Amino acid sequence: WLCVEKRFDNEQRLKLLQFVTGTSSIPYEGFQALRGSNGPRRFCIERWGVAESLPRSHTCFNRLDLPPYTSYDMLYNKLVIAIEETSGFGIQ
């Protein structure tokens, strides 16, 4: 979370929340009240992929899949690309 706390501005934090959960607002009761497709579902981070990959999310499960990046800067840059360059499912 150091990357999110220290380098992200509030707009980027909201975009990250939306990228992972599908919503840009935190429930009134806090993160413990996040819900998924089958009821309560915690925000979680899983290791996935290779360092060259972008992060991916599963909004139904409030899950962020992060590749094993080799540096803090790489993590920051890949997260920014993921949250700034994505929107929805891409269905036409």
Q: Would you give per-residue pLDDT tens digits along the chain (92 residues)?
A: 788 889 999 999 999 999 998 888 878 887 777 887 777 788 899 999 999 999 999 988 889 999 999 999 999 999 999 999 876 555 44
Instruction: Give the domain range for residue 20.
Output: 2-84
61 is a domain residue: yes
Cβ atoms within 10 Å of 32's Cβ, excluding its own: 9
Quote the pTM value: 0.82
SS3 call for 70: coil
Q: Residue 69's domain is classified under what CATH number?
A: 3.30.2410.10
92 is a domain residue: no
**Catalytic annotation, pick one of 33, 44, 51, 60:** 60
The yes-or-no answer on residue 3 being catalytic is no
Contact by Cβ (8 Å): 49, 40: no
6 is a domain residue: yes
